[in-house]
Structure 1
Amino acid sequence: MLKNRSCGVLLHITSLPSAFGIGDLGPEAYKFADFMLESGLTYWQILPLNPVEGDSGYSPYSGLSAFAGNPMLISPELLMDEGYLEVQDLEHKYNFSESQVEFEKVIQLKKQFLDKAFINFSKNATPRQSGLFKKFCHEQAYWLEDFADYMAIKNFFGSQAWYDWPTDLRDRDKKSLKKFRKELKKEIYKEKFLQFVFFQQWETLKLYCKDRSILFFGDLPFYVGQDSADVWSHTEIFKLDDDKSPKAVAGVPPDYFSETGQLWGMPVFDWKKLKKRNYDWWVDRIDHNLNMFDLIRLDHFRAFSDYWEVPAGEKTAINGSWKKGPGKRFFKKLNKKYPELPIIAEDLGDIDQPVYDLMEQFQLPGMKVLLFAFGEGMAQNAYVPHHHVPNSVVYTGTHDNNTCLGWYSEAAPEEQKNFSKYINRTVNEKNAASHMVRLAMSSVGKLCVIPMQDFLGLGKEAIMNVPSTAQGNWLWRMKPQQADGKQARKIKELLTLYDRHRPNVDPVKMP
């Protein structure tokens, strides 16, 4: 699937500059696409775009839906361009940090914008806007109806989780749902409008990028949160008891990094039932993501082979057990629809041979992360470049790692020494990031992805996420003008040197 040498950048939408406290789908996203065009970068990798909430630390990997978009990423400027807001509506008194997302303040402000936009749409929608909205609702009904119901009822009960709702609503009693749909008609309509606007803005940005031969690289979490529209509306495909509580939850077993493993807590799938249904929900999910993105990364890929299941109520992941995942049956079904699966397997961590066999059978590229390469036993390490293979994606680090500079500053002396010996250069904090970027670029791996923080040479202050911590993550933002012409020229020189620069593109002018 990875036919040509190319390079991408990892930068989540929330990390873009913006006057409204969080990166969004507005002007700065288009500026970044122009920066990518100038740099010669091909892939823009982002994190999941699903709705998030404070109870899960605003993690994009614990979304309220596997299908819906995050309304906080809607651009107020584009709402104005579409006629949903006036210029004066964008004035606000909030003072936002340029370097971090302040989620609580952002939500307060964006809610004001979105409420006003919805009122204006309800009163003054043009025939074109009404027609596009109806078309969207019809085409996306397979997930949108349940999601809109879920959000409207959840908000009615003060953001309460669905499994704590009155039993009739928790269990989706038809009469009770019908009654609430009638009472919350306006609120349900609003949730559909917000999704309509999100996907309208997303598709416009995607088209702009496509016209410049820039491709989007999305990320798909394996599990979904217990408090999500998906579990509420599809309880039958999860291992739940009669009270809709999980019988078992997800995690990973004890390993070198944790004596007790990791207890993630999400409900696990009932793969036997999904198999009987031809994996319908999962196929819909893959279809939806491949409509949004040109390439997707399947997070926690090993769970498709086998996964760690922990009985509900356990305090740690120690007493879990391995259970069979859907394996090759699932990918054979996908392969019929997508002969060349545009999928990257996240194969980091403790991976066994059946996982590699599954990847090999379907020619799925894996990941090589250079920050894992320079410890003890470096010569035999699978992440060190002389063990890379062409059908792989090479990273300096991912959203779950330190930056290159942060890593080098905190690395053990042996790792620092190994890195210097490997590249035969004197490495220090000033040049650690640039050396690591060059090493990734030089790999035989067909696709190389560099976090924007490493292109910029930033330190640990720019870490996106520290795994197993609940707060203080997903905050980093790029400051205005950091992605400038000088930076673009530096990147283009490297891409040309290592044969990762795509041909010059004459962009199609947008109407």
Structure 2
Amino acid sequence: MTVRRRAGVLLHPTSLPGPEGIGTFGTELTGFLDFLSKAGFSLWQVLPLTPPAAGNSPYSSYSAFGGNHLLIDLQQLVEEGDLSSRALQNHFPQELVDFKQVTPWKEQLLHEAAENFFKQGQTPRLKEFWQFCDTTYWLHDYALFMALKQHYHGTPWHRWPNELAQRNPRALQQAALQLGPEIGARKYQQWQFFRQWQRVRSAAAERGIAIIGDLPIFVAHDSADVWCNQELFLLDTKGKSTVVAGVPPDYFSATGQLWGNPLYNWAAMEQQGYGWWIARFRQLFELFDQIRIDHFRGFEAAWHVPATAKTAARGSWVPGPGAVFFDAVKASLGNLSFIAEDLGVITPEVEALRDRYDLPGMKILQFAFDSDAANPYLPHNHRTNSVVYTGTHDNDTTRGWFNTLSPKIINRMYDYLGLPGTNPVQDLIRVALMSVAGTAIIPLQDLLELPTEARMNQPGVALGNWSWRYQSTQLKPGLADYYADLLRRYGRG
């Protein structure tokens, strides 16, 4: 069977240029899609689009179902009459996302837009809004959760009054009445997020571009998901985690990575037919064409760390649901298009689970040159059913990575590639594109040959991540033509 060789670009929407201090679903995104189309790329990969919580990370969210309201394009709200154009005047820096300034400014304007929207009375848009509310089953719980968090000044849900933490129906009803305007504003934000995203997806499809989404396997403890489904997580009677997620010492950290997420009560989930997960997958495939499952190995076994531990070094692997889970998902939703993030400590059991469902794994070229010929990331060990990257959002940019290499590894890399080594970033991109892997994904930072300062995330570092943005002037004339020629040369599109 002939497999289409595809190529794409990794870029989170927050990294788009624009006047709002953070990337949005506005005209700059359309310009980025035009660049992808002209350059011949047929895939765009994003990070999770859920509302960020701790450290502004898209991998730590207040909801596995909600959308990041900071991505809403305010100009569209002006055009619809929900905001005044004067409200958009600001002087945010263009180089980075200053979350400390942008978040309160944008949330205030979104609340103002919601208030103006509801004042307009009966309109076709109001009918559309109520239809969204009626058909989005998780929406009220999420909006109530966020309203309560604001009411209690950001306090985690397990520290709220007991009747609210334990979801007493009468207490929830009283809270909903008391916090009605804030709940309405949160629902308005979600409505606008999802309608704007559908326009983005349509614009991508018109250009022949499929979108790859990202699913973090774990959710945040302080989230609507855990608050509403406490029986599905390993918690004590007060709602606190008994064990938390992470990974043991690895490439990124000598003490492991202590993520702190609660872990699943898989027995309880199985009793419910994995309904929460099936609903999550169903929604994601309404938003994306393909899904990368972050930390795929957690479905085979997860690293359980005592909740009191200071690092992830002390923990144990505990079996997950494995094939039983994926059989249930497949029976409910049919064959779905996943990418298995199979990096780190991968066992034969994890590989068997991945291959049982014919899921492509990931090959990272920055990991390829620090050992011998058996290194699974070296191009001669790639498989057709895999996705090759120069690096991911957790890696340094390729230019920054190369600048940290020892002469020994540099020599090994160029001995392997058989190249003179005049441009290491372009060399690695070419290797990715000529790989037998069916899909090649290049972070935009590497297409632009940017240094370490453009890195998206440094695992284990709590602050200063996720803020990089590119400037529209960096997509210089001729860049799209250059990559269009390169993709044709290596049979990708």
Q: What is aligned with 2:467?
A: 475
Partner of 1:198: 193
Alignment check: 8 A CA contact 1:295 1:342 kept = yes
The residue correspondences of 1:88-103 to structure 2 (distance < 5 A) are 88-92=86-90, 94=91, 96-103=92-99
**Match 1:412 to one of 398, 406, 416:** 406
Whether the 8 Å contact between 1:35 and 1:485 is mirrored in structure 2 is no
Give the superposition deviation at 1:240: 0.6
Q: In 1, distance between residues paired with 2:77 and 2:83?
A: 6
Count of aligned pairs between the two proteins: 493
Classify the secondary structure of the residue corresponding to 2:403: helix
Amino acid at match of 2:414: S
Q: What's the secondary structure of 1:380's corresponding residue?
A: coil
The Cα shift of 1:484 comes to: 3.7
Distance in 2, Cα, partners of 1:26 & 1:258: 37
Give the direction of change, closer, same or farther, for the CA distance of 1:256–1:467 in structure 2 (3 Å limit): closer
Could you say which residue in structure 1 is the equivalent of 2:426?
Answer: 434
CA RMSD of aligned residues (A): 1.5
Q: What SS class does the counterpart of residue 278 from structure 1 fall into?
A: coil
Q: Deviations over 1:168-196 (max 9, x none)?
A: 11111111111111111111111101100
Match of 1:223 in 2: 218
Is residue 9 of structure 2 the alignment partner of residue 25 of structure 1? no
User: Which 4+ residue blocks in structure 1 deviate beyond 4 angstroms?
Assistant: 255-259
In the alignment, what sits opposite 2:58? 60
- Amino acid corresponding to residue 449 of structure 2 in structure 1: G
Q: SS state of the match for residue 266, structure 1?
A: strand
* Cα 1:473–1:311 shift into 2, 3 Å: same
Q: Percent identity over the alignment?
A: 43
Which of 123, 126, 130 is the equivalent residue of 1:130? Answer: 126
2:79 to 81, 100, 104: 81
- C-alpha displacement of 1:82: 2.1
Q: 5 Å matches for 1:46-445? A: 46-53=46-53, 56-92=54-90, 94=91, 96-124=92-120, 127-141=123-137, 143-255=138-250, 258-377=253-372, 379-428=373-422, 431-445=423-437
Contact 1:341 / 1:364 at 8 angstroms: preserved in 2? no
Shift of 1:352: 0.1
| CA-CA distance at 1:483 after TM superposition | 2.0
Aligned equivalents of 1:2 and 1:368: distance in 2? 21
Q: Structure 1 residues 257, 296: CA separation in 2 closer, same or farther (over 3 Å shift)?
A: closer
Alignment deviations for residues 3-25 of structure 1 (CA, whole Å, 9 cap, x no partner): 31010000000000011111011
Q: CA deviation at 1:111?
A: 2.1
Deviation at 1:2, TM superposition (A): 9.7
Match of 1:494 in 2: 486
Change (3 A) 1:380 1:475: same
| 2:38 paired residue number | 38
Alpha-carbon shift at residue 237 of structure 1 (Å): 0.1
Tell me the SS of whatever aligns to 1:485. Answer: coil
One-letter code aligned to 2:342: D
TM-score by length of 2: 0.97
Distance 2:283 2:314 in 1: 35
Task: Check 1:258–1:200 CA distance in 2 against 1; reply closer, same or farther (3 A cut).
Answer: closer
Give distance in 2, aligned partners of 1:270 and 1:471.
31
**Secondary structure, counterpart of 1:50 in structure 2:** coil
Question: Structure 2: where are the runs of 5+ without partners?
Answer: none
Any idea what SS the aligned residue of 1:417 has? helix
**Aligned with 2:478: secondary structure?**
helix
Task: Point out where structure 1 has 5 or more consecutive residues left out of the alignment.
Answer: 502-511
Determine the C-alpha separation between the residues in 2 that align with 1:338 and 1:108: 39
Instruction: Report deviation, 1:262.
Output: 2.4
